[in-house]
């Protein structure tokens, strides 16, 4: 009898912790289930597509309040992209750049005052990058861009004399930017350089992405992807709570096929390559990345350049510059500028990765090999 | 077993069942992520086509200035079959059949984009 009572007590004492343990396990399961079921619902997504900056642009913002997301995306599109395009575009007759270029057509050295902040600042920044890259990136390359017309319906191979004439009008050293009472004054041309023209096409998309990111952050957006025709800027981490996974266009495959991916947060990723815009004449491929020194499409041993930078304007301009420089000069440039993170695809199908990208880059094309830049 | 223990056990089993129902319902009723082609011009959506089981068809989208693009849908894929733009990059893009794929005709400001869950969040080019 006593033994029976003892057994019963033992059973009683053991059941309770077991039940408690099971309850605890089920509570954990309930918490996980609630997270799975409700996490998707609390994040709203607002997307805006438009044809701007000569390409398809897409702004995707994520958050809890749909109305504020709508407002932030609309503002970014209208007050951000449209306003800046109307200042920078060489294809809009009333833009600030067109105003400077048309004034420059009339004389040897001209001064244009009252240039608004964004245009003045960006011309100044473009000139700095031109100096840093020894002219591999040059915002005065427009005479050459216009002459070849690549990407337009009048693309052609110009004569040597035409190229020489256009080259004589390229010189970033003959442009100066002065800040005067909130606006800028731009001097362009010299005695020997007349009819020069500016083109911010190699840096404008990056700068616009920077401005949009700043606008969205000020509007309280903590998660967004800005895609300006393949120039990407991401804010925060992806809505799934992990880094954004971005594909890098394969230089030999159709648009949308990647040779690898990068996992990034709060940064910009820009890629340039000769595959993007070109035309073929008599079996020769002429692409849109010009070498300002030769006035012809750059003959580079690189097939694509990707820059990852928190400043998209820098990424945009440096992609072009490094492509023009070719592998050896690019590697030397990157060794000197350790803060710049890059992926260089060389024509022997080697992907060179700077140290900062080693842990976030994943090569997916098994026919390519990966090396780290020293 | 005490009455309290039994109640707790019943509660635990009931909670477990609710969890299973929640998770099962979530995955069963989750929005089907079918591959859909979104055709837009100047950022305005002209048409969306669910590609799975879509009937084969060809149609023309016209744009200002006499431009046109011929779009073909067949075998769960879509492409710009023909166009009168200068470089015909959109036609060279070929068949689109994976989420995130896109073909853009910049001169005609026309885009086909495949929605769904792509393997990347975005892509540079």
Q: How far apart are alpha carbons A137 and A310 in whole angstroms?
A: 19
Task: Tell me: do A289 and A360 sit in the same domain.
Answer: yes
Chain B: residue nearest A29 by CA?
B19
User: Residue with structure tokens 């473009």?
Assistant: A126
Q: How far is B41 from chain A (nearest CA, A)?
A: 8
In a domain, A202, yes or no: no
Task: Tell me: do A182 and A257 sit in the same domain.
Answer: no
Task: Tell me: do A298 and A181 sit in the same domain.
Answer: no
Lowest mean pLDDT among A66-70, A89-93, A125-129, A279-283: A279-283
Chain A within 8 Å of B12 (Cβ-Cβ)?
A: yes
> In chain A, what residues touch B43 (CB-CB under 8 Å)?
48-51, 56
> In chain A, what residues touch B79 (CB-CB under 8 Å)?
none
In a domain, A342, yes or no: yes
Q: How far apart are alpha carbons B21 and B19 in whole angstroms?
A: 5
In a domain, A156, yes or no: yes
In a domain, A46, yes or no: no
- Rounded mean pLDDT of B78-99? 89
Task: Tell me: do A258 and A170 sit in the same domain.
Answer: no
CB contact under 8 A, B86 and A30: no
In a domain, A148, yes or no: yes
pTM above 0.90, yes or no: no
Chain B within 8 Å of A234 (Cβ-Cβ)?
A: yes
Question: pLDDT tens digits for A77-119?
Answer: 988 999 999 999 999 999 999 999 999 987 778 999 999 999 9
Chain B within 8 Å of A16 (Cβ-Cβ)?
A: yes
User: Residue with structure tokens 């970033």?
Assistant: A172
Q: What is the pLDDT of residue A261?
A: 97
Task: Tell me: do A252 and A350 sit in the same domain.
Answer: yes
Q: How far apart are alpha carbons B50 and A69 in whole angstroms?
A: 27
Task: Tell me: do A182 and A247 sit in the same domain.
Answer: no
Could you tell me the CATH number of the domain that includes residue A114?
1.10.3980.10
From the list A255, A321, A317, A205, the residue with the least C-alpha distance to B87 is A255
Measure CB to CB from residue A227 to each of B22, B25, B122 and give the nearest one. Answer: B122
Chain A within 8 Å of B101 (Cβ-Cβ)?
A: yes
Question: pLDDT tens digits for A219-276?
Answer: 999 999 999 999 999 999 999 999 999 999 999 988 888 999 999 999 999 999 999 8
Q: Quick one: B10 exposed, middle or buried, by C-beta within 10 A (0-12, 13-18, 19+)?
A: exposed
- Which of A18, A56, A276 best tests the B interface by mutation, with the highest count of B CBs <10 A? A56
Q: Of the residues A188, A220, A255, which one is the last residue of a structural domain?
A: A188
Q: DSSP code of A97?
A: H
Question: pLDDT tens digits for A27-70?
Answer: 777 777 776 666 555 689 999 988 899 888 999 999 999 999 99
Task: Tell me: do A261 and A349 sit in the same domain.
Answer: yes
In a domain, A109, yes or no: yes
For residues A10 and A3, is the Cβ–Cβ distance under 8 A? no
Note every long-range contact of A85-88, with CB atoms under 8 Å and residues 24 or more positions apart, other chains counting.
A85/A52, A85/A53, A85/A208, A87/A116, A87/A118, A87/A119, A88/A118, A88/A119, A88/A122, A88/A200, A88/A204, A88/A208
Q: How far is A88 from chain B (nearest CA, A)?
A: 19
Q: Of the residues A154, A188, A222, which one is the last residue of a structural domain?
A: A188
Question: pLDDT tens digits for B108-124?
Answer: 989 999 987 678 999 99
In a domain, A308, yes or no: yes
Q: Of the residues A141, A171, A188, which one is the last residue of a structural domain?
A: A188
Q: What is the pLDDT of residue A124?
A: 98
What's the structural domain count of chain A? Answer: 2
* Range of the structural domain that residue A305 is part of: 243-372
CB contact under 8 A, A19 and B5: yes
Tell me the pLDDT band of A324, cut-offs 50, 70 and 90: very high
Q: What is the pLDDT of residue A73?
A: 95
> In chain B, what residues touch A245 (CB-CB under 8 Å)?
119-121
Task: Tell me: do A360 and A272 sit in the same domain.
Answer: yes
CB contact under 8 A, B22 and A22: no
Could you tell me the CATH number of the domain that includes residue A252?
3.10.520.10
Tokens of A46: 């607002």
Q: What is the pLDDT of residue A233?
A: 98
pLDDT at A352 over 60: yes
Q: Which of A10-24, A139-153, A249-263, A341-355 is the most confident on average?
A: A341-355
Tell me the pLDDT band of A334, cut-offs 50, 70 and 90: very high
Tell me the pLDDT band of B26, cut-offs 50, 70 and 90: low
Q: What is the pLDDT of residue A14?
A: 56
In a domain, A336, yes or no: yes
> In chain B, what residues touch A30 (CB-CB under 8 Å)?
15, 18-19
From the list A343, A352, A365, A358, the residue with the least C-alpha distance to A250 is A365
Task: Tell me: do A182 and A288 sit in the same domain.
Answer: no
Chain B within 8 Å of A12 (Cβ-Cβ)?
A: yes
Measure CB to CB from residue B9 to each of A19, A55, A246 and give the nearest one. Answer: A19
Q: What is the pLDDT of residue A1?
A: 44
């Amino acid at each position: 009898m006593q033994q029976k009572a003892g057994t019963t007590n033992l059973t009683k004492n053991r059941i309770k912790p077991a039940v408690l343990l099971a309850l605890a396990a089920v509570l954990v399961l309930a918490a996980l289930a609630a997270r799975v079921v409700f996490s998707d619902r609390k994040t709203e997504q607002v997307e805006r597509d438009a044809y701007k900056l000569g390409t398809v642009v897409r702004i995707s913002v994520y958050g809890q309040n749909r109305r504020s997301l709508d407002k932030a995306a609309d503002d970014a599109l209208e007050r951000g992209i449209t306003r800046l395009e109307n200042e920078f575009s060489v294809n809009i007759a009333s833009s600030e750049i067109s105003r400077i270029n048309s004034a420059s057509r009339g004389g040897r050295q001209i001064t244009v005052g009252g240039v608004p902040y964004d245009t003045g600042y960006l011309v100044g920044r473009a000139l700095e990058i031109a100096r840093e890259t020894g002219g591999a990136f040059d915002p005065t390359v427009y005479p050459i861009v216009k002459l070849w017309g690549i990407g337009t319906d009048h693309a052609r191979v110009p004569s040597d004399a035409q190229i020489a004439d256009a080259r004589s009008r390229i010189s970033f050293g003959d442009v100066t930017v002065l800040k005067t009472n909130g606006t800028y004054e731009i001097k362009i041309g010299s005695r020997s350089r007349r009819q020069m023209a500016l083109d911010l096409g190699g840096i404008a998309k990056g700068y616009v992405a920077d401005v949009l990111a700043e606008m969205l952050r000020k509007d309280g957006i903590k998660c967004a992807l800005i895609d300006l025709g393949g120039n990407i800027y991401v804010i925060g981490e992806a809505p799934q709570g992990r880094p954004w996974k971005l594909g890098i266009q394969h230089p030999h495959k159709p648009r949308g096929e990647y040779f690898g991916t990068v996992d990034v947060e709060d940064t910009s990723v820009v890629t340039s390559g000769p595959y993007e815009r070109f035309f073929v004449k008599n079996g020769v491929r002429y692409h849109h990345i010009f070498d300002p020194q030769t006035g012809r499409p750059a003959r580079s041993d690189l097939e694509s350049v990707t820059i990852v930078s928190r400043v998209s304007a820098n990424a945009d301009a440096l992609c072009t510059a490094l492509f023009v420089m070719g592998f050896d000069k690019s590697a030397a440039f990157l060794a000197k500028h350790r803060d710049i993170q890059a992926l260089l695809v060389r024509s022997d199908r080697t992907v060179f990765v700077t140290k900062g990208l080693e842990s976030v880059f994943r090569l997916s094309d098994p026919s390519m090999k990966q090396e780290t830049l020293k | 077993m005490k009455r309290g223990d039994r109640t707790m056990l019943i509660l635990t089993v009931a909670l477990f069942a609710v969890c299973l129902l929640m998770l099962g319902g979530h995955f069963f009723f989750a929005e089907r992520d079918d591959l859909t082609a979104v055709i837009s011009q100047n950022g305005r959506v002209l048409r969306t086509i669910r590609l799975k089981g879509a009937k084969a068809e060809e149609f023309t989208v016209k744009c200002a200035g006499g431009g046109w693009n011929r779009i073909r849908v067949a075998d769960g894929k879509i492409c710009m079959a023909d166009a009168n733009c200068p470089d015909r990059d959109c036609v060279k893009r070929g068949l689109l059949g994976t989420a995130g794929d896109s073909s853009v005709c910049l001169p005609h400001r026309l885009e086909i984009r495949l929605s769904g869950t792509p393997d990347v969040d975005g892509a540079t080019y």
